[in-house]
Each structure stands twice: as C-alpha cells, then as structure tokens.
Amino acid sequence: MNNYNNLEQILKDLHHLPAATPQASFRTNARIRLLNLLSAPAAAFPRPAMAIRSQVLRWAGAFALAIFILGTGAVYASQSSLPGTPLYPVKIASEKVALGLAPTGQIKTAVATSMIDRRADEVNKLHQEGTTEETRVAVQNYTQTVAEIKNTAEVDLNEVEQHLAKHQELISEVEKEEEHDLNEKEDTHPPTGTLTPKTTPSEVQGVTQEDNHKNEIKKIEIIPTATVTPTDSDEYQIED
Amino acid sequence: MVRRNLSIQRLIARAGQGDAAAFGEIYDLFLDKVYRFVYFRVGNREDAEDLTEQIFLKVFKNLKNYHAGGAPFAAWLFRIARNHLTDHYRRRRNEVSLTAGVEVADSQPTPEELIQRQMDQQAVSVAMRKLPDSYQEIIILKFIEERENEEISQILQKPVSHVRVLQSRALTKLRQLLNNEQL
C-alpha cells in the first residue's frame, strides 16, 4: 500500500507530464490565430483597446486619404446610396480606392468581404422596396463585385466564400422572384403593346354606368419602362 | 533576472500599443506555464487548449489595465487565467469529468517503477481535481509549477502566511483523499 509519503515528488514530476505540455501543432496554430486576430480590424473586438493595432491604423489612414482625395462630403453622403442614385458611383469608387490601398492579408480580405456584404445589402433593400429594375441591377453589381474580388490578389478566398454562402439564399431568392415577375409581366401584357387597367371600373366607388362603359373600351397605351443600365465598373476606376 | 524583467516590461509596453509581434513573444514565454496551469485544472487536452487560447486573447485585451509598478506580469497573467477558469467552471460545472485519464510522465524507469509511477500520477491527478478550487490552485502553483510563495500570494491575492497554511491543508487533504481511495 502506498502512503504517498513522496507526494511532493509525484506532484513535481507532473510538471513533466507530456500531456501537460502544449502540442507543437497547438502552439503554432494558436499563435497564428491569435496574431491574426490581434491584427484584424476593430470588428474582431466588440470594444477595442485604445491602442489601435498598427495595421488597422495604416488602413484607416489610407481610407481617410481616399476620402480626402475624393471629397469628404460626397463620399460620406454616398455610403448609404443605392444603385440608380447619383452618388452611387462615388460609393463604388471610394470602395475601390480603399481596397487598393488596404494592406495585404486579413485587412484586405476584410475590406473585400465588406464590399460583398454591401452589394448584398443593396440587393436586399431594393428587393424589399419592390423596385424590379434596380434590383436586377443590384444583383448584377453583386455578381460583378464578387468576380472582381475573386480576381484580387492576396484576398483570402475561403473567407470570401463564407460571405458568399451567407448571401446565397438571398441572391437566389431574389433572382427567382425577378424571373417570375418577368415571366408574369410577359404573360399579362398583350402582344399589341396595350395594357388593360388592373382595377375594373365597377370596383371604383361613384363611377357611373356610362363611365364604366367608357372604361371598358378604354385602352391604356404602354409607356416603356425606364431602363436602368447596368453599372459599368470601368466608369469608377480610379487612376493611379 | 532584472534584465529579463526589463525585457518583458518592454514587450508588454509594445504589445499594449497594439504590437502583435511583441504579444507573440509574450505568448511564447508564457504559453507552457499557462497551459500547464489550465491542464491540471481541466484534465484534458481539448479544453486546456481552448481555454489557454481564450486566456491569451483576454490578456491582450486587458494589457492596458496592467500596471508595471504593481504585481509581476506572471502573477497578473495567472490571475487572469484563474478568473477565466472560474468563469468556465461556473458555465460548465456539471460537464467536468472528475475521472478523466491522464497521460504519464516518462523518464526511463524500470518497467515496475514505470507502472507504479503511472498509477501514482494517475491517482494524484484524479484526486487533485476532487479538491476545492483554492487547494487545486495552490498545489499546481506551489508543487507543480514550483512558484515562490510571494508570487502565489500575488496571484491569489492572499497574504503569504495564508498561502503557507493553504499549502499545508491542501497537501493533507490530497493525501487523505488518496489514502481513502486505496481503502
């Protein structure tokens, strides 16, 4: 029977227990994960420390410079603009400058993925507003931005794919609904280029029989819908 | 020793200003100690790794609160580790296995000695985690980590005299547990 008289020695020996030493893989991987996280933008920390990490500072400086060059007021005002509005090209241009000036690695990836998120947000907003043509343009912008980012060197494509997966459902749903709306429009529109009114005259209160008769025979001429041309990315290209 | 402390203070200052590379060096210096402290409290690698990583992140986020003139950095760091473990146990009190197996240290003994040593280390590790938290902490810091009473008193924020009493009581209790297990 062991009385554990050597208990202190046994405890001392536990110091050298193999399992009590971090494995090499953990040592390296945890170090990489931690340092990446510490170098990431403030988003990684809900309440970042006052001392801002140097890479973030560089990125913020570059972005501030871009804002200054492009005209402070316009760029700020453009950040919430949607496709089809006058300030939208300014928004796209400021993003491209920010992406171009961002340091490589996680910061560049963060800027790139935020661009994808913004395009998806635009699709969502316009879709909710029910603006069919603009929504279609927003979806095209989304696809174009994704393609551009995938071609950007030094962006973490795995991270990009994660963001794409997040928006996949929204984009598919919008595309499906847009297609459905388009088909419906083609079905309901007479080929003669005329459109019958949706509300029948009898549904309108205070309309006389005579008015009804007039309305029945009345045809409304189709007014071609204004087409919003897809955004040409080259238009926003900033010269070095 | 003084030179080492100065260099650690410099690293802390740089890391406090957001220098990730400086924090990487702090991580290299203290990883083993923190990991060991956590491992003997939780008894398995997976949890020890997760918690250790979380502790270092917490350390970085709190570096601005560390005052160079106060407790030594190691004591401050262990205090964060200790608090993090307390929070962890609060969240998962019922999930912690007290009978988790423990790998055994090997330093070329005879087969008989090895078996006996394995049995002793296994028994001690398991019994240790049945002790109250304060006894576990003192045993790990004093006997496994071999830290000075002065430093332990700063980590536990208790007087040195109290630390000595705790050590003695923790050892006695551990020995009792081990002997009872044999009955």
pLDDT in tens, B58-116: 998 888 888 877 788 999 999 999 999 998 888 776 444 444 445 555 556 677 777 77
Rounded to the nearest angstrom, the minimum Cα separation between B123 and chain A is 10
| Contact between B43 and B84 (Cβ < 8 Å) | no
| Contact between A62 and A238 (Cβ < 8 Å) | no
CA angle A198, A201, A206 (to 5 degrees): 135
Residue A74 confidence (pLDDT): 64
What is the mean pLDDT of the segment spanning A30-44? 69
Residue A106 confidence (pLDDT): 67
Quick check: B6 contacting A, CB < 8 Å? no
Residue A224 confidence (pLDDT): 45
Residue A220 confidence (pLDDT): 41
Residue A193 confidence (pLDDT): 46
What is the mean pLDDT of the segment spanning A94-116? 76
Residue A236 confidence (pLDDT): 37
Q: How confident is the model at residue B19 (pLDDT cuts 50, 70, 90)?
A: confident
Residue A110 confidence (pLDDT): 79
Quick check: B63 contacting A, CB < 8 Å? yes
Confidence check: pLDDT of A141 > 50:
yes
What is the mean pLDDT of the segment spanning B133-158? 92
User: Which among A12, A34, A51 has CB closest to B16?
Assistant: A51
Residues in chain A with CB shorter than 8 Å from the CB of B182 are 1-2
Contacts of A126 (CB under 8 A, 6+ apart): A82, A83, A134, A135, A138
Residues in chain A with CB shorter than 8 Å from the CB of B124 are 4, 7, 10-11, 14
- How far CA A76 is from CA of A73, A109, A114, in Å, comes to 5, 22, 16
Q: How confident is the model at residue A126 (pLDDT cuts 50, 70, 90)?
A: confident
- How far CA A25 is from CA of A31, A33, A145, B34, B110, in Å, comes to 10, 12, 37, 17, 31
Residue A70 confidence (pLDDT): 53
- Of B76, B49, B72, nearest to B63 by C-alpha is B76
Other CB atoms closer than 10 Å to residue A161's CB: what's the count?
12
Residue B143 confidence (pLDDT): 92
Residue B29 confidence (pLDDT): 93
Q: Between chains, do A30 and B124 touch, taking CB under 8 Å as contact?
A: no
| Contact between B51 and B84 (Cβ < 8 Å) | yes
For A77-95, what is each residue's pLDDT tens digit? 677 788 888 888 888 887 8
Number of CB pairs, chain A paired with chain B, less than 8 A apart: 119
Q: Between chains, do A23 and B106 touch, taking CB under 8 Å as contact?
A: no
Residues in chain A with CB shorter than 8 Å from the CB of B21 are 35
CA angle A21, B37, B85 (to 5 degrees): 130
Quick check: A15 contacting B, CB < 8 Å? yes
What is the mean pLDDT of the segment spanning A134-141? 89
Lookup: tokens for A142: 């989304």
In whole angstroms, give the CA distance from residue B1 to residue B5: 6
In whole angstroms, give the CA distance from residue A21 to residue A41: 32
Least confidently predicted of A144-148, B69-73, B161-165: B69-73
Q: How confident is the model at residue A104 (pLDDT cuts 50, 70, 90)?
A: low
Contacts of A227 (CB under 8 A, 6+ apart): A133
Quick check: A46 contacting B, CB < 8 Å? no
Contacts of B175 (CB under 8 A, 6+ apart): A4, A7
Confidence check: pLDDT of B55 > 50:
yes
Confidence check: pLDDT of A108 > 80:
no
Instruction: Provide φ and ψ at A220, rounded to 5°.
Output: -100, 130
**Pairwise pLDDT comparison (B48 vs A238), residue with the higher score:** B48
What is the mean pLDDT of the segment spanning A116-136? 86
* CA dihedral angle for residue A13, residue A15, residue A17, residue A21, rounded to 10 degrees: -170
Confidence check: pLDDT of B5 > 90:
no
R_g of chain B, CA atoms, integer Å = 18
- Of B69, B66, B62, B30, nearest to B147 by C-alpha is B30
Would you call B129 helix, strand, or coil by DSSP?
Answer: coil
Residue A202 confidence (pLDDT): 42
- How far CA A124 is from CA of A114, A129, A133, A159, in Å, comes to 15, 9, 13, 21
For A153-203, what is each residue's pLDDT tens digit? 778 888 889 889 989 888 888 888 877 777 776 666 555 444 444 444 444
Q: Which amino acid is at A228?
A: V
| Contact between B144 and B110 (Cβ < 8 Å) | no
Question: Following DSSP, what letter does each residue of chain A receive, concatenated?
Answer: ----TTHHHHHHHHTT-GGGS--HHHHHHHHHHHHHHHHS-GGGSSS--SS--HHHHHHHHHHHHHHHHH-HHHHHHHTT--TTSTTHHHHHHHHHHHHHHSPTTHHHHHHHHHHHHHHHHHHHHHHHHT-HHHHHHHHHHHHHHHHHHHTSTT--HHHHHHHHHHHHHHHHHHHHHHHHHHHHHHHHS-TTSEE--SS-GGGSTT--HHHHHHHHH--EEPPPPPPPPPP-GGGGPPP-
Residue A18 confidence (pLDDT): 85
Confidence check: pLDDT of B172 > 70:
yes
- How far CA A70 is from CA of A56, A82, A110, A221, in Å, comes to 21, 18, 22, 45
Q: How confident is the model at residue A31 (pLDDT cuts 50, 70, 90)?
A: confident
Question: Following DSSP, what letter does each residue of A148-160 receive, concatenated?
Answer: HHHTSTT--HHHH
Q: How confident is the model at residue B183 (pLDDT cuts 50, 70, 90)?
A: low
